[in-house]
Amino acid sequence: MDWVRKKNPLIHCITNDVVTNFTANGLLAVGASPVMTANHEEVEEMARTADGLLLNTGTLTPYQYEAMRLAAQAANENQTPIVLDPVAVGATSYRTRVVQAFLEGVHVAVIRGNGGEIAALIGMHADMHGVEGKSDQPPEMLAKEAANVLGTVVCVTGERDAVSDGKHTYLIKNGHVWLSRVVGTGCLLGAIISAYIAAKGTNVDLSRSATEALAQYGLAAEDAFARSKDEGIGTFQQRFLDSLGWINDDHCHGKINVQQV
Ligand code: ATP
Ligand code: TZP
Ligand code: MG
Ligand code: MG
């Protein structure tokens, strides 16, 4: 996270009601500055000022959808990178329909979702259970297919994570299963990918920047588990924020489990 700490990017988040506080604290921990607003009177101005825009559909309403559209247009005009977390796409037809329509009008740099959400977004079979979702496809194949169909970098997360821009595909095995027992860890990951690519700049290979962000996030979770396994997931959540605050490139040396596939 050294790049993020050096640049202190401002990340404008239009995200869900469940994870707002956790996302803001996680962004601060890695050295970014969060700002949350969906107010139609100011979203365009805020998106123009920001270094990155995170859009998360977790508690999507028609008002918030319009805020996302306005902010995304301003971000596109300003070449500010957008990260989309299509939470629960595939769980209801409304979400699937509006997120697919949204992607026709704007360019997003990175999409991050679980296997079910990414599969549903491209019309493949998805096994959805509210915000949780799985695909029967291996993550690396799904990420590559979705990247080609959507023309963007795609991160598919779960037990193993995959990142693809359609040409280059990476498999990341860092992480811990306890991440799936704390709400908002997928949502925070989207925000941290946004901070990472905002800090590194869009001239740098986005799939590599996203891969690095995922691997370091996973390592922070491994570190947090080692320091909370005798306590439980409440302590794990706090230790995870601690680890995100400490993690740096030196700390990750030799522990990153990434392969190009
Ligand atoms: P879901 O709602 O289906 O849990 P999500 O949007 O919360 O999805 P996840 O796929 O859980 O997102 O990913 C969040 C983080 O948790 C990622 O860093 C991912 O690598 C990690 N993760 C999820 N499940 C596991 C697991 N079984 N083992 C290791 N890491 C995991
Ligand atoms: N309901 C709507 S959004 C949300 C819930 C439970 C949070 C989902 O968070 P994550 O990061 O996808 O687990
Ligand atoms: Mg989750
Ligand atoms: Mg999610």
Q: Give the three-state DSSP class for 126.
A: coil
**How far lies 258's CA from each of 6, 21, 40, in Å?**
24, 30, 41
Q: Whose CA is nearest to atom 9 of ligand 2?
A: 184
Q: What is the pLDDT of residues 164-200, one digit of tens each?
A: 999 999 999 999 999 999 999 999 999 999 999 999 9
Which pLDDT score, from 0 to 100, does residue 136 have? 97
- Domain 2-260 -> CATH class: alpha beta
Helix 62-78 to helix 93-105 angle, to the nearest 10 degrees? 20
Residue 115 is predicted with a pLDDT of 98
Mean per-residue pLDDT, 192-209: 94
Tell me whether residue 46 is annotated as binding: no
Alpha carbon distances (Å) from 61 to 67, 98, 194? 10, 10, 22
Q: What is the pLDDT of residue 218?
A: 98
Tokens of 215: 């691997």
pLDDT, tens digit, 9 for 90 and up, residues 71-82 = 999 999 999 999
- 26 annotated to bind ligand: no
| pLDDT tens-digit readout, 14-69 | 999 999 999 999 999 999 999 999 999 999 999 999 999 999 999 999 999 999 99
Nearest CA to ligand 2 atom 3: 58
For the CA of 17, the nearest atom of ligand 2: 3
**Helix axis angle, 233-246 to 206-226, nearest 10°:** 130
Distance from C-alpha of 14 to C-alpha of 40, rounded to nearest angstrom:
11
Work out the widest C-alpha separation in the chain, in whole angstroms: 50
Name the nearest CA neighbour of 44 among 71, 72, 66, 67. 71
Domain boundaries, the chain: 2-260
106 vs 202 pLDDT, higher one: 106
Q: What is the mean pLDDT of residues 94-113?
A: 97
Distance CA 249, CA 261 (A): 23
Mutate to test the pocket of ligand 1, among 185, 216, 257 (most ligand atoms within 8 A of CB): 185
Euclidean distance between CA atoms 64 and 75, whole angstroms? 16
Taking a C-beta distance cutoff of 8 angstroms, is the pair 151, 182 a contact?
no
